[in-house]
Chain A
Amino acid sequence: MNIITQLLRFYRNTSQYMRFYVPSSLVLTPCKYYPSCSEYAELALHKHGLVKGGLKSVRRICSCNPWSKGGVDLP
C-alpha cells in the first residue's frame, strides 16, 4: 500500500512538472476532475482498500472522456 502511494505521488509530481514546464513535446491539458485521478486513487485506496478502491480508481480514469462533465468527484 505504501509503495502504491509513493508511486502515485511520484507520478503526480512528474506529471505536474511536465504540465507546467515542458509543453514543447506534448500538450497536456488540465484535469477536468477535481481531485486529479492520482489524488483520487490515493484517497480511494485509503478509504476503501485495495480491491474496491482500485476498482473505483479505474472507473474514475475511464470516466475521463469527452462525454463526461468533469467537476468535483471525491471517492
Chain B
Amino acid sequence: MSFLFTQILYRPLFNLLLLLYNYIPGNDLGIAIIALTVLVRAAFFPLSIKAQRSQKALSAINPKIQEIRARLKNDSTAQNAAILQLYKEHKVNPFGGCLPILIQLPILIALYRVFVAGINPQSLSLLYSFIHNPETLNKLFLGFLDLTSKNHILAIVTGLLQFMQSRQSAKYMQTSGASKEMAAMNSQMLYLFPVIIIVIGWNLPAGLLLYWVTATGFSMLEQLYLKKQS
C-alpha cells in the first residue's frame, strides 16, 4: 500500500515539484510550491465549479424541503415524492457523493508530504533519471522569506485570507435557507475557522503556509469566475 502510494502519487508529484523548480527562472522553491499548487487546483477546477453550483442550487431549495417535511410530517411516502419532484423541478443534480473526497484525500496527503520533503530534503533519491538533480534547493522565497522556518506574519496573513475567502463564499451561497441553528454556527465559524488556521499555522514552516495561501487565493478567483458566470 505504501509502495503504491509512493510510486503512484508521491513520486510523480515530487518530481513535478523539482521539474518546476528547475525550469521556472529564478530556481525558487517558493515559486515551485505555488506553481504545483495551482496545477493541482486547476486539475480540480471543473469538479470544484460543478460542486459549488450544485451546492448553491441545493441550498436554494432548502427552505422548500423544510416546508414539505413539516407539512407532510406523517406521510413519509408523500414526503419522498414531493422532495424528489422538487429536485427534478429545480434540476438539482447532486453528483458524485463522497467518491471525489476519497480520490482527493490521498492526493492532498501526497502533496503535503511533497512540500515537507521539498522543505527538508533528506534525499533526492526519488527523482526520475530524466529530472536534473539540483543538489541543493534555494529555500528563500523571493530572496527573503525562509520557507523552512516558522513565520508568524504569514500565518496571520493566511488566516485573514481564509476569512476573506469564506466571506466571499458565503455571499455566493447566500444561505438564507439555513436553519437558525446552522446560521448561528456559520457566523461563529466564519470567525473561528481563520483563528484555527492561524493557531495551526503558527508553528508550521512557511512553505506549507504558502501552499494554503495559494490554494485560498485560487478559490477566491474561482468564486469570481462563478459570480461572472451567474
Contact = CB atoms under 8 A, between A and B. Distances in A.
Given A17-B193, A64-B97, A24 B47 contact: no
A26 interface: yes
Give the one of B54, B55, B165, B181 with max A CB within 10 A.
B55
Interface string B155-187: 000000010011001100101000001100110
Contacts of A71: 84, 87
A70 B97 CA distance: 8
Interface residues of B, number: 48
Contacts of A33: 94, 97
A32 B94 contact: yes
A17 B51 contact: no
Instruction: Tell me the dominant secondary structure on chain B's binding face.
Output: helix
Interface residues of A, number: 28
B97 A27 contact: no
B104 interface: yes
B178 to A, nearest CB: 8
A24 B84 contact: no
A33 B58 CA distance: 12
Contacts of A13: 181-182, 185
Contacts, number: 111
Given A16-B182, A27-B48, A34-B83, A22 B95 contact: no
A6 B170 CA distance: 25
Contacts of A22: 162, 165-166, 169, 193
Given A17-B186, A21-B193, A29-B47, A70 B219 contact: no
B94 A30 contact: yes
B212 A25 contact: yes
Nearest to B41: A24
Interface string B98-112: 111100110010000
A21 B169 contact: yes
B89 to A, nearest CB: 14
A51 interface: no
B219 A23 contact: yes
Contacts of B59: 20
10 contacts: A16-B182, A17-B186, A20-B169, A20-B186, A22-B162, A22-B165, A22-B166, A24-B219, A27-B47, A30-B94
Given A21-B186, A27-B44, 14 more contacts: A20-B55, A22-B162, A22-B165, A23-B52, A23-B219, A24-B165, A26-B105, A29-B51, A30-B51, A30-B58, A30-B95, A64-B99, A72-B80, A74-B76
Interface of B: 44, 47-48, 50-52, 54-55, 58-59, 65, 76, 79-80, 83-84, 87, 94-101, 104-105, 108, 162, 165-166, 169-170, 173, 175, 181-182, 185-186, 189-190, 193, 212, 215-216, 218-219, 222
